[in-house]
């Protein structure tokens, strides 16, 4: 299939490649059979997108986002959930409780490719939309609680873009949680050495030392929690343990905000 990806859109192939290769391992820590199917259907070469640190990071974040999301869905069992910048991710299958309403949202060209490999399901709908403007949110059902997931998306935004996105979310949904992947100023400066992203044309945007830096951009937000991927990565290998020491402050984090 002849596919053209935008610079940030192409980065969606990284978690896809990693989820497929992890699934094929004996003792796989995450199972994502859909990822393998997508790679085969699209016929894309993802061999350069699966180096060690990115692999461990994506496995860690997949587990951490899933568990945090399940915890929130237990609290708000019929929440409206939005996977914003969904790429090829199939988080709905990992967390569905039979009651949530889920939207997979991404830029129009990415949703067009996603539609080649996914169909809308009951309570799980694909939608074109941008994290930088809220027009698409008007077509969503109203709900008292919205849970927004942004995994591997804000990393590519400038500070101004992050502000626009946070303001848009708080304007569009009356109450919500945001589960966001954040990265450090170190990665912002040294992104060209990132073991997987260096193989794309994407560059990292505004990095933070703490998720609390988001609060000055959007006063309606409150900070709930923040955990480094090191917490999960250090469990599995010596290299993961070492990175958790050497890269104590530079690994990506899962931050949770509420409004």
Ligand X SMILES: C[S@@+](CC[C@H](N)C(=O)[O-])C[C@H]1O[C@@H](n2cnc3c(N)ncnc32)[C@H](O)[C@@H]1O
Q: What's the closest the beta carbon of residue 25 comes to ligand X, in angstroms?
A: 19
Looking at the Cβ atoms of 33 and 242, the one nearer to ligand X is 33
Q: Are residues 166 and 218 in contact, defined by beta-carbon separation less than 8 angstroms?
A: yes
Scanning residues 133 to 162, which ones bind ligand X (CB under 6 A)?
A: 151-153
Rounded distance between C-alpha atoms, residue 91 and residue 65, angstroms: 9
Give yes or no for residue 232 binding ligand X (CB under 6 A).
no
Give yes or no for residue 164 binding ligand X (CB under 6 A).
no
Give yes or no for residue 12 binding ligand X (CB under 6 A).
yes
Give yes or no for residue 124 binding ligand X (CB under 6 A).
no
Give yes or no for residue 60 binding ligand X (CB under 6 A).
no
Cα separation of the two ends of the chain: 42
**72 DSSP assignment:** H
Give yes or no for residue 11 binding ligand X (CB under 6 A).
yes
Using alpha carbons, select from 101, 125, 99 the residue that is nearest to residue 114. 125
256 forms bridges with which residues in the sheet? Answer: 179, 225
The tokens for 86 are: 């969904």
The tokens for 35 are: 């990822």
Give yes or no for residue 112 binding ligand X (CB under 6 A).
no
Return the residue of 41, 132, 135, 249 that touches ligand X, per CB under 6 A: 132
Binding site for ligand X (CB under 6 A): 8-9, 11-12, 14-15, 84-87, 89, 106-107, 110, 130-132, 151-153
């Amino acid at each position: 299939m002849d596919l053209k990806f935008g610079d940030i859109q192409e980065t969606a192939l990284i978690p896809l490649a990693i989820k497929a290769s992890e699934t094929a391992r004996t003792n796989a820590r995450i199972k994502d059979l859909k990822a393998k199917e997508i790679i085969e259907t699209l016929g894309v070469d993802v061999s350069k997108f699966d180096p060690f640190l990115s692999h461990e990071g994506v496995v860690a974040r997949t587990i951490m986002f899933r568990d945090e999301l399940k915890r929130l869905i237990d609290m708000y069992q019929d929440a409206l959930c939005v996977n914003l910048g969904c790429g090829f991710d199939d988080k709905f299958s990992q967390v569905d409780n039979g009651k949530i309403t889920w939207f997979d949202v991404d830029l129009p060209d990415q949703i067009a490719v996603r539609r080649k490999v996914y169909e809308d399901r009951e309570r799980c709908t694909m939608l074109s939309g941008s994290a930088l403007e809220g027009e698409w949110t008007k077509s969503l059902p109203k709900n008292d609680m919205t849970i927004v997931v942004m995994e591997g998306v804000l990393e590519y935004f400038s500070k101004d873009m992050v502000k626009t996105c946070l303001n848009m979310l708080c304007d569009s949904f009356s109450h919500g949680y945001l589960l966001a992947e954040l990265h450090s100023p170190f990665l912002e400066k040294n992104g060209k050495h990132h073991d997987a992203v260096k193989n794309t044309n994407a560059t990292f945007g505004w990095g933070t030392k703490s998720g609390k830096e988001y609060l000055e951009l959007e006063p309606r937000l409150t900070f709930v929690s923040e955990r480094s991927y090191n917490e999960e990565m250090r469990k599995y290998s010596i290299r993961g343990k070492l990175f958790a020491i050497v890269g104590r402050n530079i690994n990506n984090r899962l931050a949770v905000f509420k409004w």
